[in-house]
Amino acid sequence: SWAPLFTCWAAVEPLVGREYIAAQALQSEVTTRIRMRFRPWMTAQDRVIHGGKTYNIVSLVDVRSGHRELVLMCKAVG
């Protein structure tokens, strides 16, 4: 079962146009990019809930390896 780990501010950006096509070429069904503060313990096995929608994390990117910003490439569940 799933349990909430934390609540935070994040930018949830649906992928559109070229970004969407490029993301699908690399990762199947990626539909959304989520930008948030870096969290070293976060993995692709975690999930994100935003606005009543649940997202599976396909990949995580530590922007510029600076441990400041985390970009999650996600796909909607259901």
pLDDT digits (tens, 9 = 90+) for 4-15: 999 999 999 988
* The one-letter amino acid at 26: L
Secondary structure of 38-67 in HEC code, one letter for each residue: CCCCCCCCCEEEECCEEEEEEEEEEHHHCC
The pLDDT assigned to 30 comes to: 78
The pLDDT assigned to 20 comes to: 56
> Per the confidence metrics, is the pTM higher than 0.95?
no
Which tens digits make up the pLDDT trace of 13-55? 988 766 555 655 555 677 899 999 999 999 999 999 999 999 9
What number is the average pLDDT over the span 48-76? 94
